[in-house]
Amino acid sequence: MFITEEDFEMLSSIKMQWNGYDWELQADRFDNREISFEFQWAYWFDSRTALILARNFLMQREISFNESYDEAMESFVIVTDYALEAVSL
């Protein structure tokens, strides 16, 4: 299955900067206590299906990531350095 960059962006319900925003202080809300706080971006997904598709997108491109479940948001989360590059017109 081929997932485009735009598809990946649409799979997530929320995208937020991760590193440097004190997420470590809320580490207990994530079920994977080994989640890295060094990645630049976090993407939240409302369903396991969206998480699997997003994970597939990153793995096919050999992009590093961690995944977890965020108890506070009741959503799956992927943290990564991947971000869609803005296209200049």
Within 10 angstroms of residue 64's Cβ, the number of other Cβ atoms is 13
pLDDT one-digit tens code per residue, 20-48: 999 999 999 999 778 999 999 999 999 99
The answer to whether 11 and 84 have CB atoms below 8 angstroms apart is no
The answer to whether 59 and 13 have CB atoms below 8 angstroms apart is no
Q: Residue for token digits 């299906």?
A: 49
pTM (two decimals) = 0.89
pLDDT one-digit tens code per residue, 57-69: 999 999 999 999 9
Model confidence band, residue 89 (pLDDT cutoffs 50, 70, 90)? very low
Report the C-alpha gap between 87 and 73 in whole angstroms: 31
Cα dist from 86 to 2, 6, 8, 23, 89, whole Å: 21, 11, 14, 26, 10
